[in-house]
Amino acid sequence: MFRPRPESPAATIAVEVEGRTILVPAGASAAAAVLMAGLSSIRETPVGASERGPYCMMGICFDCLAEIDGAPNRQSCMVAARPGMRIRRQRGARAIEME
Amino acid sequence: MTVDLAIIGAGPAGMAAAALAAELGLDTMLVDEEDAPGGQIYRGIERAAQSSPLGADYLAGRELAAGLRGSTAHYRPRTTVWHIDPDASRGGTLSLTAAGKSETVAARHILIATGAIERPVPLPGWTLPGVMTVGAAQILLKTADLVPEGRAVLAGQGPLLFLVALQLTRAGAPPIAVLETAPRANYHAAARQLPRVLWPGRRDMAKGLALILGLSRAGIAVRRAVRGLRALGRGRLERVSWEGGEIAADHLFLHEGVIPDTQISLALQLAHRWDDRQLCWRPVVDDWGRTSLPGIAIAGDGGGMPGPRRRRCRAGSPRSMRPRRSGASTTRNAIAAPWRSAPASPGNAPSGRFSTRSTARPKAC
Amino acid sequence: MRRFDAIVIGGGLVGTAIGYGLARAGLGVVLLDEGDVAYRASRGNFGLVWVQTKGLGAPHYQRWTRRSAEEWPLLAAELGERTGLDVGLEQKGGVQLCLGEAELAKRRTMVEQMRAEAGNFGFEYRMLDHDELAAMLPGLGPSVTGASWTPYDGHANSLLLFHALHKGFAGAGGTYLPNCTVSEAVAAPGDFRIAAGGETVGAPRIVLAAGLGNAALAPLFGLSAPVRPQRGQILVTERTTRAWPIPLGSLRQTPEGSILLGSSEEDVGFDTSQKPEIMRAIARRAVLSFPWLAELQIVRAWAALRVMPPDGLPIYDESERFPGAFTANCHSGVTLAGAHARVFAPMVATGTLDPMLAPFTAQRFDVPAAA
Band of the pLDDT at C326, cuts 50, 70, 90? very high
Which of C303, C339, C335, C305 minimizes the C-alpha distance to C94? C335
> pLDDT tens digits for B98-127?
998 999 999 999 999 999 999 999 999 999
Which chains touch A (3+ CB pairs under 8 A)? B, C
Cα(B48)–Cα(A1) distance, integer angstroms: 23
Taking CB atoms and an 8 Å cutoff, what residues of chain B touch C272? 269
Give the best residue of C233, C273, C275, C297 to mutate against chain B (max B CB count within 10 A).
C273
Calculate the alpha carbon distances from B123 to B156, B178, B252 in Å.
Answer: 11, 17, 12
Whether cis (ω within 30° of 0) applies to the bond prior to B341 is no
Output the average pLDDT for chain B.
84
When mean pLDDT is compared across A4-13, B184-193, B322-331, the lowest value belongs to B322-331
Give the residue among B214, B223, B233 at the shortest CA–CA distance from B177.
B223
| Cβ atoms of B242 and B227 closer than 8 Å | yes
Write b or e for each residue in C304-313: b if 16 or more Cβ atoms lie within 10 A of its Cβ, otherwise e.
bbbbbbeeeb
Cβ B3 vs Cβ B56: under 8 Å: no
Question: What's the gap in Å between the CA of C28 and the closest CA on chain A?
Answer: 40
pLDDT, position C219 = 97
Determine the pLDDT at residue B327. Answer: 46
Residues of A in Cβ contact (< 8 Å) with C259: none
State whether residue A58 sits within 8 Å of chain B by CB.
yes
- Sorted by sequence, the CB contacts under 8 Å of residue B41 that are 6+ apart come out as B11, B12, B58, B61, B115, B361, B362, B365
Summarised one tens digit per residue, pLDDT across range C254-292 is 999 999 999 999 999 999 999 999 999 999 999 999 999
CB C262 within 8 A of CB C284: no
Q: Which residue has the higher pLDDT, B54 or B282?
A: B282
Q: How far is B82 from chain C (nearest CA, A)?
A: 10
Residues 6+ positions from B22 with CB-CB distance below 8 Å: B28, B71, B72, B73
Look at residue C35 in the predicted model and tell me its pLDDT.
86
Which one of A63, A91, A96, A98 would you mutate to disrupt binding with C, by most C Cβ within 10 Å of its Cβ? Answer: A96
* B143–A contact, CB cutoff 8 A: yes
Instruction: Measure in Å the smallest separation between the Cα of A80 and chain B Cα atoms.
Output: 7
In sequence order, what DSSP letters do the residues of C193-240 get, joined into one string? Answer: EEEETTEEEEES-EEE--GGGHHHHGGGGT-----EEEEEEEEEEPPB
pLDDT at position C286: 98
Query: β-pairing, A86-91 with A43-44?
Result: parallel
* pLDDT score of B305: 45
- Please report, to the nearest 10 degrees, the dihedral formed by the alpha carbons of residues C337, C339, C342, C344 taken in order: -110
DSSP C247-266: --SSEEE-TTS-EEE----B
pLDDT interval class at B340 (50, 70, 90): low
pLDDT (tens digit per residue) in C216-250:
999 999 999 999 999 999 999 999 999 999 999 99
Tell me the CA distances in angstroms from C47 to B318, C304, C334, one per residue in order. 42, 14, 6
How far apart CA B341 and CA B350 sit, in angstroms, is 10
Instruction: Write the pLDDT tens digit of every residue in B262-319.
Output: 999 999 999 999 999 889 999 999 999 999 999 999 999 888 643 222 332 222 223 3
Q: Is B292 on the interface with C (CB under 8 A)?
A: no
Distance between CA atoms of residues B87 and B6, nearest Å: 13
pLDDT at position B194:
82
Contact at 8 Å (CB) between B78 and B35?
yes
- pLDDT tens-place string over residues B1-10: 999 999 999 9
pLDDT at residue C23 tops 50: yes
**What length is written for chain A?**
99
Residue of A nearest to C258 (CA): A93
Tell me which residue in A26, A29, A60 faces B47 most closely, judged by beta carbons. Answer: A26
In this predicted structure, the answer to whether residue B351 has a pLDDT above a threshold of 90 is: no
Select from C26, C35, C32 the least CA-distant residue to C8.
Answer: C32
Q: Please check whether residue B83 touches C, CB under 8 A.
A: yes
Please give the residue of chain A at the shortest CA–CA distance from B36. A27
The share of chain B scoring above pLDDT 70, in percent, equals 83
CA distance C271 to C305: 8
Nearest Cα residue in chain B from C303 = B267
Any B CB within 8 A of A15 CB: no
> What residue type is assigned to position A61 of the chain?
C
pLDDT band at C364 (very low <50, low <70, confident <90, very high): very high
Alpha helix (H) ranges present in C276-318? 276-289
Q: Cα separation of B34 and B98, whole Å? A: 11
Please give the average per-residue pLDDT across B86-90, as a whole number: 95
Q: pLDDT tens for residues B176-203?
A: 999 999 988 887 887 888 888 888 878 8
CB contact under 8 A, C138 and A46: no
The predicted pLDDT at position A99 comes to 64
From residue B138, give the alpha-carbon distance in Å to each of A36, C66, C360.
15, 60, 64
Q: Hey, what's the torsion of the CAs at C279, C282, C288, C291, to 10 degrees?
A: -60
What's the whole-model pTM score? 0.89
Q: How far is it, in rounded angstroms, from Cα B161 to Cα B155?
A: 7
Q: Is the pLDDT of residue B358 over 70?
A: no
Distance, in Å, from the CA atom of A3 to the CA atom of A6, rounded to the nearest integer, reads 9
pLDDT > 60? residue B352: no
| pLDDT at residue B350 tops 70 | no
H or E element, residue C126: strand C126-129
Strands C298-308, C228-237: pairing is antiparallel
- Cα separation values, A99 from A57, B196, C97, C290, Å: 33, 69, 21, 11
Which pLDDT value is given to residue B362? 34
Q: Residue C63: how many CA atoms within 13 Å on its side-chain side?
A: 15
The C-alpha angle with vertex B154 and arms to B148 and B157, in degrees rounded to 5, equals: 145
